[in-house]
């Protein structure tokens, strides 16, 4: 990723995060909006220089049938799991209400940033971590696919993910943001919810 792409992503996320300020009592949501795509650093040479297909794009559960709500569903027929009787049923290796924490999701920037946050002891609430981890799992939060796996905590967190999604992906505010004006606020949120140094 070029340096200007990093700046553009940061700028877009800042505008997005500012849009989330419509929820003034949920400062964690503002920070989550700012950082949710930071896992895309995996594209940078210093973080492994992974190819785009390994970092971005919609995510989906593994170990169960590929729901038709998945984008480009027809291509899943080429995946060996498509015909594997252990994996090609609705529940596959999982059970109803098992919770998304027990479901393996395809790898991408979402899971990487979730692991960075979790392993560094973030104090973001469960809903913030859920948003970071599942914001690219569009079959779930847009089409309600794979709902058989969600538990009560997931259902509550899905409400926040749907609020978040209203402002994500091509819906960034067109209002200009004064970066220097809002910078102290966001730095205070980083300090509140994360340690001073992060292990990436």
Distance CA 99, CA 35 (A): 24
Is 110 annotated in a binding site? The answer is: no
In a 3-state reduction of DSSP, which class is residue 107?
coil
Give the residue from 126, 128, 131 showing the smallest Cα distance to 161. Answer: 131
Handedness of CA 196, 192, 122, 115 (dihedral sign): negative
Is 72 annotated in a binding site? The answer is: no
Is 152 annotated in a binding site? The answer is: no
> Is residue 146 classed exposed, middle or buried when 0-12, 13-18 and 19+ CB atoms within 10 A define those classes?
buried
Give the residue from 197, 198, 175, 25 showing the smallest Cα distance to 113. Answer: 198
Is 141 annotated in a binding site? The answer is: no
Distance CA 193, CA 74 (A): 41
Is 96 annotated in a binding site? The answer is: no
Residues of the binding site:
36-37, 109, 135, 168
Residues of the binding site for Fe cation:
36-37, 109, 135, 168
């Amino acid at each position: 990723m070029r340096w200007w792409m990093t700046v553009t992503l940061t700028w877009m996320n800042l505008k997005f995060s500012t849009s989330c300020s419509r929820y003034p009592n949920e400062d964690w949501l503002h920070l989550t909006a700012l950082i949710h795509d930071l896992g895309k650093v995996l594209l940078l040479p210093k973080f492994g220089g992974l190819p785009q297909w390994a970092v971005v794009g919609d995510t989906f559960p593994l170990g169960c049938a590929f729901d038709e709500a998945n984008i480009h569903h027809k291509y899943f027929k080429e995946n060996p799991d498509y015909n594997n009787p252990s994996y090609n049923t609705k529940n596959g290796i999982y059970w109803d209400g098992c919770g998304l924490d027990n479901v393996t999701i395809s790898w991408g920037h979402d899971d990487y940033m979730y692991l960075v946050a979790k392993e560094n002891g973030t104090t973001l609430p469960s809903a913030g971590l859920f948003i970071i981890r599942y914001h690219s799992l569009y079959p779930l939060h847009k089409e309600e696919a794979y709902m058989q796996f969600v538990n009560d905590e997931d259902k509550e967190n899905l409400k926040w993910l749907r609020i978040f999604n209203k402002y994500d992906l091509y819906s960034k505010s067109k209002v200009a943001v004064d970066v220097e004006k809002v910078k102290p606020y966001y730095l205070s949120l980083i300090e509140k919810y994360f340690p001073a140094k992060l292990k990436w």
